[in-house]
Structure 1
Amino acid sequence: MASTSSCSFTLSSFKTPIPNSQTRTKYPSLTPSIISISTQNSLFSSFSSSGRRVFSCLDTDPVAETIGSSSSEVEVRIGKWKWRDYSIRYQYSGDSGPALVLVHGFGANSTFDTVIFLNSDHWRKNVPFLAKSHRVYSIDLIGYGYSDKPNPSEFGVNSFYTFETWGAQLNDFCNDVVKGEAFFICNSIGGLIGLQAAVMEPRICKGIFLLNISLRMLHITKQPWYGRPFIRSFQSLLRNTAVGKFFFKSVATPQSVRNILCQCYHDTSQVTDELVEKILLPGLEPGAVDVFLEFICYSGGPLPEELLSQVKCPVVIGWGDKDPWEPIELGRAYGNFSVVEEFIVLQDVGHCPQDEAPHLVNPLVEKFVARHASAKDNASMTTV
């Protein structure tokens, strides 16, 4: 796996499939309908997938990055938003149409030996395309990317980095920056955040498109009773100790990040130097290690099946069928919830479809939004 030979932790023996016996009695059965189908410029500059050199500077006022193909140019800007006295970085593009908020993933897999640091740059292949007919925003959630990373120890016994925190942040972002309702387009753990936000403030979310949502296999309730004490002890060992910091350091390297991405991307040709840089460098920011260790030790909170049973807005689920972390065999169960309109199989795609196969994902997002957008959404609006 991605960690070095001197530091590898495995909890796979404690992994249990979902839905478990309790879940089966509470949630739908397994018969879904299936459809197949910048970092700081003081550090470096990189090439976008279109071949254009892209610069961004985060220690000045928001600047514009121009990203696009030879046939059309789409301007992607970087903004800063003050949330609860913390600085939050986001990207935005597009002047009219329905608002889309793209929510990145992050975290560890169910064996703890594969970790990934994601941020709003992971949507760089989607924002320019979708911005042609939508107002598009991608946000660095607090603790990740180039947003502030307050130390979790500042908040005492109550954890700050929870789905409730990020859900509240997402809703406040829609109120303060988007200035209204939005569709949430989410990958992996970001799907839990989109669902949590929709449960907390139903009036804001018009619909959710979930891509390979995290099944939260590290959740304490998904472990057998005999494994739970070991998991809690292991999490205690990782959090705020030299062991945890060594673990983080062992995977926060270009080669480790590349190895991790080659696991979760089925088409490994999409694992470029640019992608490795965009994922790794925010993970080297001050405070990133404390945030990361806090989150991978977060084994409570909501499960996707609990949130899906509460949301009121329409949901579509897309799933890369070659995902090694969130197997599609388990994911199919989520297509059976009443709010889920479609469960779409993305063939020969891994855990991050939006980046590995944007040619498949972008049209599906457009179709979903068009189906639920109102006349008001489609009216021309000026981005604030």
Structure 2
Amino acid sequence: MVLIHGFGAAIGHWRNNIPVLAAAGYRVFALDLLGFGGSSKPAIAYSLELWQALLKDFWAAHIGAPAVFVGNSIGALLSLMMAADYPDLVQRVVLLNAAGGLNHRPEELNPLLRLVMGVFTQLVSSELVGPFLFEQVRKKPRIRRTLMQVYRDHTAITDELVELIYEPSCDPGAQKVFASILTAPPGPSPTELLPRVHQPILVLWGDADPWTPITGSKIYRELAAAEPDRVQYTPIAGAGHCPHDECPDTVNRLVLDWLSAGNRG
């Protein structure tokens, strides 16, 4: 089983899942995507395709057999990419509040928001303004406020969680990584990928997520209705963008039950 974190997160974001999944008998792997967590932070062009290549190499070096890919946010989108492009590597897929892209696609934004995002992209990329913006974003009080937007259960926002996100921002090169990712192309969309994915899929979606609202899960809901033997879609009431961390007991149970049912089948 391979766990793939989302934007700004790291291996530690799975701290409430790894022990339970491992205790159930699974070999559990997790990694920091390049540029995040404890990984190195080279000044390169970041993209979903770069991380996909990293995952392929990680699989070849450490796993070597079809695995269950579990991802949150952009990690979920990467899991879909792996299933579509390297089907022999992927046995099953678990998607947690899957992102529609690494960044917003211009055609998805109204003209005003498109203009605002264009200006923001220029500022983030600026040698003068970019470092200042990054310093504001990475302050611990700002991190906590951001988490309060995406976690509905604020008791899950611990000092440990804030530190998990803050510490990598202190690494040399972190600001350049931040700028590169926020100005990167969105990559392939779920609409493009899903017709090429034939493995069983479990879709879990916190229904109170402001970043990837549950309205965006329509494509998965429809797929589950059309192929109920292959695709399971389960909304999680009251959870935000990171249900695996906000309500780990629920997510762990749903994942293990689904895997167990599949093994019985």
Per the normalisation by structure 1, the TM-score is 0.63
Kindly indicate whether the alpha-carbon contact (under 8 Å) linking 2:35 and 2:174 is maintained by their aligned counterparts in 1.
yes
For residues 48-59 of structure 1, what are the structure 2 equivalents within 5 Å?
A: none
Q: Does 1:180 align with 2:62?
A: no
**What is the aligned partner in structure 1 of residue 137 from structure 2?**
251
Match of 2:79? 194
Q: Separation in 2 of the partners of 1:103 and 1:306? A: 20
CA contact (8 A) 1:240 1:290 kept: no
Please give the residue correspondences for 1:97-116 in structure 2 after superposition, counting only pairs within 5 Å: 100-106=1-7
Residues 47 and 185 of structure 2 are in contact (CA less than 8 Å); yes or no, is this contact kept in structure 1?
no
- Tell me, what secondary structure is at the counterpart of 1:258? helix
| CA gap 1:371/1:173 in 2 versus in 1, 3 angstroms | farther
1:136 aligns with 2:28: yes
* Structure 1 residues 190-217: Cα deviation after superposition (integer angstroms, max 9, x where no partner): 1111111222211001111101111346
Is the 8 Å Cα contact of residues 305 and 334 (structure 1) preserved in structure 2? no
Gaps of 5+ in 1: 1-99, 107-116, 153-158, 376-384
Structure 1 residue 220 displacement after superposition:
2.2
Letter in 2 for 1:271: I
Structure 1 residue aligned with 2:172: 286
Kindly indicate which of the two structures has a greater share of residues assigned to helix: 2
Q: In the alignment, residue 127 of structure 1 is paired with which amino acid?
A: I
Deviations 1:340-362 (CA, angstroms, capped at 9, x unpaired):
61110101111100000011000
The alpha carbon displacement at 1:332 in A equals: 2.9
Deviation, 1:263, is 1.1
Residue identity opposite 1:197 in structure 2: M
Identity of aligned residues (%): 37
Task: Kindly provide the amino acid, as one letter, of the partner of residue 104 in structure 1.
Answer: H
The residue identity in structure 2 corresponding to 1:326 is T
Note if contact 2:77-2:100 (Cα within 8 Å) is conserved in structure 1: no
Which of 106, 123, 126 does residue 14 from structure 2 map onto? 123
1:352 is matched with which residue?
A: 242
Per-residue CA shift, 1:248-302, capped at 9, x if unaligned?
1101111111111111111001101111111110122111111111111124321
Higher Cα radius of gyration: 1
Aligned partner of 2:196 among 304, 310, 315:
310
Contact 2:65 2:89 survives alignment (8 Å): yes
Equivalent AA in structure 1 for residue 60 of structure 2: N
- What's 1:325 paired with? 211
Name the aligned partner's letter for residue 219 of structure 2: A
Q: Residues of 1 paired with 2:243 and 2:136: CA distance?
A: 27
Query: Given the alignment of the two structures, is residue 149 of structure 1 paired with residue 41 of structure 2, yes or no?
Result: yes
Counterpart-to-counterpart distance in 1, 2:122 and 2:159? 35
Match of 1:370 in 2: 260
Distance change in 2, residues 1:245/1:374 (3 Å): farther
Counterpart code for 2:252: N
CA distance in 2, matches of 1:371, 1:289: 44
CA 1:228/1:284 → structure 2, altered by over 3 Å: closer, same or farther? same
The reply to whether residue 238 of structure 1 matches residue 124 of structure 2 is yes
Work out the CA distance in 1 between the residues paired with 2:94 and 2:218. 15
> Which piece of structure 1 moves more, 202-211 or 228-237?
228-237
Worse-matched range after superposition: 132-141 or 175-184: 175-184
Runs of 4+ in 1 over 4 A off after TM superposition: 224-230
List alignment gaps of at least 5 residues for structure 2. Answer: none
Shift of 1:316: 1.2
**Partner residue in 1 for 2:251:** 361
After superposition, give the CA deviation of every residue in 1:64-122 in whole Å (9 maximum; x if it has no partner).
xxxxxxxxxxxxxxxxxxxxxxxxxxxxxxxxxxxx1000000xxxxxxxxxx211100
Q: Which moved more, 1:166-175 or 1:364-373?
A: 364-373
1:211 aligns with 2:90: no
Structure 1 SS opposite 2:196: coil
- Determine the C-alpha separation between the residues in 2 that align with 1:229 and 1:329: 24
Instruction: Report how far residue 233 of structure 1 moved.
Output: 4.7
Q: Which has the higher strand share?
A: 1
Deviates more, 1:213-222 or 1:143-152: 213-222
How many pairs does the alignment contain? 259
Partner of 2:161: 275
Deviates more, 1:346-355 or 1:239-248: 239-248
Q: 1:256 to 1:229 in 2, by over 3 A?
A: closer
CA shift in 2, pair 1:324/1:230, >3 Å = closer
1:169 Cα shift?
1.2
Scaled by the length of structure 2, the TM-score of the pair is 0.90
